[in-house]
Structure 1
Amino acid sequence: MMLRRGKSLTARLTLLFAVVSSSVLLILGLVIAELVERHFEDMDLELLEGKLELIQHAVISARTEGNFDGLSAQLDAALVGHHGLAVGVWGPDGKRLFLSEEAEFPENNALLKPGQVLPKTWKGHGEQHYRGISGQAPTGIQGEPPAMVLLSTSLTHHDHFMQSFRMTMWTVVSLAALLSGFLGWIAARRGLAPLRNIARRASDITANSLDQRIDEGEIPVELAEVVTPLNEMLGRLKESFDRLSDFSSDIAHELRTPVSNLLTQTQVMLSKARSIDEYQDVLASNAEELERLSRTIADMLFLAKADNHLIVPTQEPVDLEAEISSMLEFYEPLIEEKYLKLTFLGHAEVDGDRLMLRRAVGNLLSNAIRHTPEDGFINIALENDGEKVSIRIENSGETIPSEHLPRLFDRFYRVDSSRQRTGEGSGLGLAITKSIALAHNGSVSVCSMDGVTSFSLGLPARRSF
């Protein structure tokens, strides 16, 4: 099934640049067009008002001379050189005194309203537009109504200019959209170059080169939020791969010895006929090796579940004093055999899985007994501060170098790599203790100095209701 990918980020940025620049230019063009329209309107109004004053003066003069017939000649002379300007004059009795040739006024002389001074536009014949005003021309005779005057000017020249302006504006906007899109594409490509470099560097990193990092000094600040978590992820991956590699190597070593012993003993026994006692001895020895293998495999399965958060401990009241006392009775023969001095103080209760907690504490106890020399001591203390319970087990013995302390809870980790494990330990006890502590929202720690090693298991104190 093919994966559906989103649009390219470069394409999105290119489109965004084109849309933004085109929108800005379009808005700017519309604003300029509106301003030009208002400028033309102001010019027309100034022209019409000037001619209205001239006509008013001509009417007064004609009335004073008692000859309205000469008004036409005066008005024709006043309109010379003003192409597209039309004038109409009507006397107080409604008789038309003058009308310019090819004048087109609204039907029924709609402009003839008292006080009409602002320009008004209308469409005449041939789709031509006009702008006009109306006014009154006093006759100069007291008590006689004024004459009515209509003036208009053709907007043909204005319309042609605005049509040409709009065509130019759309052409400029279109070209600007293409140019800004192209420039935006170049800017986006250059701006995203560090991201492509990060992708190339990341693609070169394999399981064998997890120590490589992406240099944060070569990238823009905005991409630091991407590179920093990526480098941190690579660090976690490297740590996980290293631990997995070490674990695989250790487990191969741990399983190789018992399997080799089983195979060798079996081959030797099969090489010739043996007595029943000899067969029984070898089978008993093989059973011990198989038990060791079984415990190791069981511990590995437990840790695998812990790593995948599949361990869900039950929540029940656990009396740690009683549980540890019970375990000490089990270890009493070993303690007496090595003449160890044991002290146990404190009382505490927690909520948790009783069997898991017994296993965790038992691993710490067996570890302390195994590494304490004869005539040494083991001190066990329970401490409760109301929020946290601490189980502290310290024993005498060799001081563990500080560089080994952080890894004591790793699987199969040896402080002395040249020394093979002895006894019943599988090398996973401390790792299991840590997993159980984490499953209970607790923690483990260790310190070693002056011949005393102390392990602490911290658990949340039991809630009181």
Structure 2
Amino acid sequence: MTFYPLSLTARLATLFSLLVAGLLLLLGLWLEHLIRGHFDEIDHMELTAKLNMIENLLDRVDSPAALNTLSRYLDELLTSHATLSVSIRDEEQRILYAYQPEFLEPVKNGDVASPSTRWSVAGYEFIGHEVHKRLPLPQSIPVHVLLGLDITHHAHFLEDTRRYLWTGIAIAALLTALLGWLVARQGLAPLKRITAAARRLSAERLGERLDLQATPPEMVELANAFNGMLNRLEADFQRLSEFSADIAHELRTPVSNLLTETQVALSRPRSTEEYQDALHSNLEELERLARMIADMLFLAKTDHGLLPNPAEPVHLEEEVTALLEFYDALAEEKQVRMQLSGTATVTGDHLMLRRAIANLVSNAVRHTPPDGRIAITITHDQDMAKLCVSNPGETIPADQLPKLFDRFHRADSIRNHHGEGAGLGLPITRSIVKAHGGDVAVRSQNGITTFCLTLPLSGTQRT
């Protein structure tokens, strides 16, 4: 058997109706207790009053003549009280007086010890009490007075009240459930708007947003989260679309070169040297493709948090020194001088950090004009180390600076002069620095461009 979960509206309506029904039930029980207590008090007062009247008459029986007239006085007293039953017996259980004694048959002398004693006869309910008296005759006679009071009308009233009360509670619970369902349905209308907005989402319709003005205060946070999710989706989809277009653009050039070189090589018979030249040219394009694919895979790992997270001390000045030795030949060829100053130790993966710094140094060497000087400075302040790479060259427009760390982005002027880059170096640098808990920034003014990395210092160097 399959059980389907109740909807949120049905759950709220059910809980609301159960709560109201429970409260009404408690109220009904309390009212019934009060009514029953009130009737019991009235019945006991009436029973006590009648018993006192009978006792007063018995106290006046002080002669045989008074004993003979006792029955008449009692008849006069009880004639107008059809709800009473009286039995007076002597010590030998002989009846001295009886009024409607058939209603006293279920009980015997000595069985009715208090007014709370109850019994039923022929569909009638009674309460009664018994007292022991001595008639003040010359020769005192002990008597047993048993008095019963018919409380059937009160019992019927309580039964009718109970029946009407439970019927009213049941009807109120049903009405409450219906009302709760309507209220919950209306109150959850914003969720339906969210659902409708989610259904309308598509690649072409990512601009849907919820109206916060029409959202209840309790759901503003949810609506904000939903709108924030849509903002992120729209931004990520736009970035993905641009990324896909950039990949197609960047891959098209080397693939086109490979096709062209191969078609030319196969267009007519050639010598071994010519085929070797064509293969070398294709090898360069394939190496470019391999680097681009490796960089794209590296960025994909950073997006999914799959980079290694070692915690080894990394001396930045040693890493920079090794890189300067590597780029020394290229710098000499371009007549560019490189200078390092400062020291700092951070915690992380030295290979990834070296790659991040290498991207900055490589860019600086490529974009620095002859006789220029590249300044690499390392400083630290409290818990952060800063590594800055400054080089002279063309000033990057201010509107291009935020885009330098986007994948496959290259400023137009730089692209025209240095087309060999794929535009993935700076995004990789930012990903590595972010993975190490740092950040990267750039500024370009008056022909000087400076990239700065900030990284947390290692625990041994923090001040």
**1:146 Cα deviation after fit:** 7.3
The answer for the alignment partner of 2:316 in structure 1 is 320
How far apart, in 2, do the equivalents of 1:332 and 1:142 lie? 146
CA offsets, 1:55-113, max 9 Å, x none?
12212233267521211111111112222211233468876432222241664423665
**8 Å Cα contact 1:17/1:181 also seen in 2:** yes
How far apart, in 1, do the equivalents of 2:404 and 2:30 lie? 77
**1:329 Cα deviation after fit:** 1.5
Give yes or no for the alignment of 1:9 onto 2:11.
no
Q: What amino acid maps onto 2:71 in structure 1?
A: S
How far apart, in 1, do the equivalents of 2:119 and 2:297 lie? 93
The answer for the alignment partner of 2:409 in structure 1 is 413
**SS of the residue 1:62 aligns to:** coil
Q: Which moved more, 1:90-99 or 1:283-292?
A: 90-99
**1:254 Cα deviation after fit:** 0.8
How far apart, in 2, do the equivalents of 1:185 and 1:272 lie? 83
**1:137 Cα deviation after fit:** 5.5
How far apart, in 1, do the equivalents of 2:276 and 2:161 lie? 111
Give yes or no for the alignment of 1:199 onto 2:192.
no
How far apart, in 2, do the equivalents of 1:347 and 1:372 lie? 24
Give yes or no for the alignment of 1:243 onto 2:239.
yes
Give yes or no for the alignment of 1:385 onto 2:388.
no
The answer for the alignment partner of 2:22 in structure 1 is 23
The answer for the alignment partner of 1:353 in structure 2 is 349
**SS of the residue 1:401 aligns to:** coil
CA offsets, 1:188-242, max 9 Å, x none?
2222222212211221121222122111111111121221111111111111111
Q: Which moved more, 1:100-109 or 1:179-188?
A: 100-109
How far apart, in 2, do the equivalents of 1:68 and 1:4 lie? 81
Give yes or no for the alignment of 1:38 onto 2:37.
yes
How far apart, in 2, do the equivalents of 1:458 and 1:138 lie? 112
**SS of the residue 1:63 aligns to:** coil
The answer for the alignment partner of 1:89 in structure 2 is 88
**1:6 Cα deviation after fit:** 2.2
CA offsets, 1:10-62, max 9 Å, x none?
21122223322322322222222222211211211221122122212212233
**8 Å Cα contact 1:384/1:390 also seen in 2:** yes
**8 Å Cα contact 1:131/1:152 also seen in 2:** yes
Q: What amino acid maps onto 2:364 in structure 1?
A: A
CA offsets, 1:111-132, max 9 Å, x none?
665xx5xx21322443543112
The answer for the alignment partner of 1:104 in structure 2 is 104
How far apart, in 2, do the equivalents of 1:308 and 1:385 lie? 31
**8 Å Cα contact 1:111/1:133 also seen in 2:** no
Q: What amino acid maps onto 1:409 in structure 2?
A: F
How far apart, in 1, do the equivalents of 2:118 and 2:265 lie? 122
How far apart, in 2, do the equivalents of 1:13 and 1:143 lie? 80
**1:423 Cα deviation after fit:** 5.6
The answer for the alignment partner of 2:366 in structure 1 is 370
CA offsets, 1:283-317, max 9 Å, x none?
22222212111111111111112212221143333
**SS of the residue 2:327 aligns to:** helix
Q: What amino acid maps onto 2:42 in structure 1?
A: M
**1:386 Cα deviation after fit:** 4.8
The answer for the alignment partner of 1:283 in structure 2 is 279
**Which of 381, 405, 425 is the aligned partner of 2:421?**
425
Q: What amino acid maps onto 1:75 in structure 2?
A: L
**1:271 Cα deviation after fit:** 2.0
**8 Å Cα contact 2:356/2:432 also seen in 1:** yes
The answer for the alignment partner of 2:250 in structure 1 is 254
The answer for the alignment partner of 1:159 in structure 2 is 155
CA gap 1:145/1:73 in 2 versus in 1, 3 angstroms: closer
How far apart, in 2, do the equivalents of 1:18 and 1:461 lie? 62
**8 Å Cα contact 1:86/1:151 also seen in 2:** yes
**SS of the residue 2:412 aligns to:** coil
CA gap 1:351/1:4 in 2 versus in 1, 3 angstroms: farther
How far apart, in 1, do the equivalents of 2:136 and 2:420 lie? 134
TM-score relative to the length of structure 1: 0.90
CA gap 1:260/1:103 in 2 versus in 1, 3 angstroms: closer
How far apart, in 2, do the equivalents of 1:112 and 1:318 lie? 101
Q: What amino acid maps onto 1:57 in structure 2?
A: N
**8 Å Cα contact 2:106/2:121 also seen in 1:** no
**8 Å Cα contact 2:61/2:136 also seen in 1:** no
**8 Å Cα contact 2:338/2:374 also seen in 1:** yes
**8 Å Cα contact 1:317/1:350 also seen in 2:** yes
The answer for the alignment partner of 2:450 in structure 1 is 454
**SS of the residue 1:375 aligns to:** coil
CA gap 1:112/1:386 in 2 versus in 1, 3 angstroms: closer
**8 Å Cα contact 1:392/1:454 also seen in 2:** yes
TM-score relative to the length of structure 2: 0.90
Q: Which moved more, 1:69-78 or 1:448-457?
A: 448-457
**In angstroms, what is the RMSD of aligned CA positions?**
2.7
Give yes or no for the alignment of 1:186 onto 2:185.
no
Which ranges in structure 1 are unaligned for 5 or more consecutive residues?
none
The answer for the alignment partner of 1:76 in structure 2 is 75
**8 Å Cα contact 1:55/1:137 also seen in 2:** no
CA gap 1:214/1:438 in 2 versus in 1, 3 angstroms: same
